[in-house]
């Protein structure tokens, strides 16, 4: 036992070193993945600009270069994973080699019997061996740790402009605006000043036009007045009050702005019109639509305000909807605003302009359902011949890894018999050599397996991402106006969903090859040892296979629903980041957070149900396996102490099995 405890730290040290190396690699991968995500979001959100300047080829080239850098990092990750896993198993097998050899010396000296040695070794070392099965999952923890660093940096950051800072709330706002010696540069371009000592005074009720070249600071002034940013120098006043002294929500709720590129949120027209005032009733919405000259085309729609609208910044109808948001948010100014609106240019033919924005949701759902039914499972590898050769070599290495497990278990079972032979020391010596050989083979096979499959999986995922990104950019502009092709959903599809290809190749495919190899070797060993029991094992194997298929099929729908729900959240987050100024203008943050919370409730409830379901199935399976057995043998210290069926062993109240069963029942209660 002491010797076994001595080798356990070696296993733990190996695992800790592996985890540390993987953590460094995961952090680098996370950086490049964030870069690629930002690149996709920017390109898709500014798709009109990309098309206008024929920038598709340049965008695809930049994305491919980013993916190439990530591929280099992934090669190192695959190598570390292979060496780490192989070293982990090598240390374990070599530990077995040392322990069984020392055990032979102890047995030969008659200080212990073979059963005691095996019991001591199994009790401690099997617990350590269990860590080897957790090794592949350590990568997930490393990825989470790397991502968590960035996440908590955002969570713990204190905003420079925050709603938490309470300020003055004025009884009435006249609307006098003054900028006094304002200096400002955007945080991303600190070296370039947009405003240098700018001053202007705008009396209430005056219509003022700011005219200048692109980039001179016209929109920047509006952003500063709304306090999206604070100036580096100078002050801004509303009715002779410094806006820094005013309550931020109060300030923004008294400012209405229509951007030259207005934004709409995914949802119905009613949802968008209620952004400014979520408590607005139908009468207020209709009045606002009439004043914004949007009621004429909205009333022509089959579902009117309940129709879904999609963002198209080029249409004047969106400006009308943006004005509507302003009117709803400021009902007290309705009368004065209606007088000023007479001097504004009226949108031309808003009904025609709106046709690009509206789509019937039921028809959209029908198409989505049909697409789901006819979607086949296809993975485009795009691999060259050398990648296919790597796949074959990786499969051979995985097969060797699979061979080691049944052979190791066979040796563990038979070594107990060797301790009772006259030439026990010599026999166990051969077992010790065998364990060492298995360990060295595991180092070679695991390194080769994980490296080759990791590289091929990463390459396939990279090819698929590049192909999908290229295909997205080759679609016509109208395609991007469909709800299923929003910025968030496309980004999730290109970056997140394609990662499944790597998981299938790098993790699942190698495991499948290992399982096939293990089954073939285990079957051969069982037929050699006792062909009758081997046939029995083969007879029950289809039951295990069918049970696995049922479990996989059950989990498939659950995972699909969960992925869809999380895609909804990703789309919402992307949309919110893109339209952050609109959200801040209407103090809409809490509503967005509530939508995010609700989008996570459905997968959370399903996760709870599935967890309970799988738990019940596992417990029922294990209990039925034990209770319905035709015969059971209870061993203690290498000796058979009881045998019989479940009912006969339970009847012996003082028996080992009966006491253990009662203890387990009490623990579960």
The pLDDT confidence band at residue 552, using thresholds 50, 70 and 90, is: low
What secondary structure letter does DSSP report for 163? T
Q: How far apart are the C-alpha atoms of 496 and 453, rounded to whole Å? A: 20
Arithmetic mean of pLDDT, 598-619 = 70
Cβ neighbourhood burial of 228 (10 Å; 0-12, 13-18, 19+): middle
Helix, strand counts (H, E) of the chain: 23, 9
So what's the pLDDT on residue 179? 87
Q: How far apart are the C-alpha atoms of 231 and 227, rounded to whole Å? A: 9
Q: Buried b vs exposed e over 69-108: b needs ≥16 C-beta within 10 Å?
A: ebeebbebbbbbbbbbbbbbbbbbbbbbbbbbbbbbebbe
Q: What residue segments make up the domains of the chain, in order of their start? A: 177-246, 267-356, 632-668
pLDDT at 235 over 60: yes
So what's the pLDDT on residue 81? 84
Structure tokens at 207: 């219509």
So what's the pLDDT on residue 261? 61
Taking alpha carbons only, the member of 65, 34, 61 closest to residue 50 is: 61
Superfamily of domain 267-356 in the CATH hierarchy:
P-loop containing nucleotide triphosphate hydrolases (3.40.50.300)
pLDDT in tens, 633-643: 777 665 777 88
pLDDT at 438 over 60: yes
Q: What percent of the chain has pLDDT over 90?
A: 0
177-246 and 267-356: identical CATH topology: yes
Superfamily of domain 177-246 in the CATH hierarchy:
P-loop containing nucleotide triphosphate hydrolases (3.40.50.300)
Structure tokens at 306: 């309940």
Q: Buried b vs exposed e over 498-511: b needs ≥16 C-beta within 10 Å?
A: beebbeebbbebbe
Among 120-134, 266-280, 456-470, 530-544, name the one with the lowest average pLDDT.
120-134
pLDDT in tens, 495-530: 877 887 888 888 788 888 888 888 888 888 888 877
- Within 8 A by CB and 6+ apart from 54, the residues are none
């Amino acid at each position: 036992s002491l010797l076994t405890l001595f080798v356990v730290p070696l296993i733990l040290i190996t695992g800790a070193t592996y985890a540390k190396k993987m953590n460094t690699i995961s952090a680098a991968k996370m950086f490049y993945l964030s870069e690629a995500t930002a690149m996709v979001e920017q390109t898709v959100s500014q798709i009109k600009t990309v098309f206008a300047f024929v920038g598709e080829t340049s965008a695809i080239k930049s994305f491919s270069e980013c993916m190439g850098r990530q591929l280099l990092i992934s090669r190192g990750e695959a190598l570390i994973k292979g060496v780490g896993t192989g070293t982990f198993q090598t240390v374990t097998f070599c530990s077995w080699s040392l322990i069984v050899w020392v055990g032979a010396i102890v047995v030969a000296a008659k200080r212990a019997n073979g059963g005691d040695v095996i019991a001591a070794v199994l009790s401690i070392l099997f617990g350590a061996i269990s860590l080897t099965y957790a090794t592949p999952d350590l990568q997930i923890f490393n990825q989470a740790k790397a991502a968590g660093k960035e996440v908590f940096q955002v969570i713990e950051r204190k905003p420079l402009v925050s709603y938490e800072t309470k300020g003055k709330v004025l009884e009435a706002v006249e609307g006098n605006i003054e900028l006094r010696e304002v200096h400002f540069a955007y945080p991303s371009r600190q070296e370039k000043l947009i405003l240098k000592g700018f001053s202007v005074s705008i009396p209430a009720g005056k219509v003022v036009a700011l005219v200048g070249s692109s980039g001179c600071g016209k929109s920047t002034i509006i952003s500063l007045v709304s306090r999206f940013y604070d100036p580096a120098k100078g002050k801004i006043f509303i009715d002779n009050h410094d806006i820094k002294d005013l309550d931020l929500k109060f300030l923004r709720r008294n400012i209405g702005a229509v951007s030259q590129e207005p934004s709409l949120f995914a949802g119905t027209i009613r949802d968008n019109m209620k952004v400014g005032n979520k408590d607005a009733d139908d009468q207020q919405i209709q009045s606002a639509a009439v004043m914004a000259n949007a009621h004429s085309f909205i009333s022509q729609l089959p579902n009117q305000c309940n129709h879904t609208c999609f963002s198209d910044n080029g249409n004047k109808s969106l400006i009308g909807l943006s004005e509507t948001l302003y009117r709803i948010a400021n009902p007290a100014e309705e009368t004065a605003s209606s007088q000023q609106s007479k001097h504004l240019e009226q949108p031309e033919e808003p009904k025609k302009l709106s046709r690009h924005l509206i789509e019937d949701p039921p028809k959209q759902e029908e198409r989505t359902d049909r697409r789901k039914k006819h979607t086949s499972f296809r993975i485009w590898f795009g691999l060259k011949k050398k990648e296919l050769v790597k796949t074959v070599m990786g499969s051979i290495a995985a097969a060797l890894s699979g061979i080691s497990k049944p052979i190791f278990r066979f040796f563990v079972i038979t070594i107990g018999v060797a301790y009772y032979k006259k030439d026990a020391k010599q026999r166990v010596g051969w077992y010790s050599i065998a364990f060492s050989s298995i360990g060295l083979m595991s180092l070679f096979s695991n390194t080769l397996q994980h490296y080759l499959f990791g590289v091929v999986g990463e390459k396939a995922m990279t090819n698929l991402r590049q192909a999908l990104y290229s295909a997205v950019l080759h679609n016509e502009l109208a395609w991007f106006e469909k709800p299923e092709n929003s910025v968030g959903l496309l980004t999730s599809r290109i970056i997140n969903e394609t990662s499944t290809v790597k998981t299938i190749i790098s993790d699942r495919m190698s495991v499948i090859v290992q399982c096939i190899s293990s089954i073939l070797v285990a079957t051969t060993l069982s037929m050699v040892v006792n062909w009758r029991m081997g046939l029995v094992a083969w007879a029950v194997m289809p039951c295990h296979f069918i049970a696995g298929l049922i479990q996989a099929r059950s989990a498939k729908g659950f995972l699909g629903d969960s992925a869809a729900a999380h895609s909804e959240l990703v789309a919402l987050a992307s949309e919110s980041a893109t339209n952050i100024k609109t959200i801040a203008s209407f103090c809409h943050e809490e509503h967005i957070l509530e939508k995010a919370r609700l989008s996570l409730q459905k997968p959370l409830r399903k996760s709870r149900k599935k967890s309970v379901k799988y738990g019940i199935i596992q417990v029922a399976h294990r209990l039925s396996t034990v209770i319905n057995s035709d015969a059971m043998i209870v061993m203690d210290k290498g000796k058979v102490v009881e045998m019989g069926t479940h009912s006969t062993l339970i009847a012996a109240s003082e028996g080992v099995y009966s006491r253990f069963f009662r203890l387990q029942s009490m623990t579960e209660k």
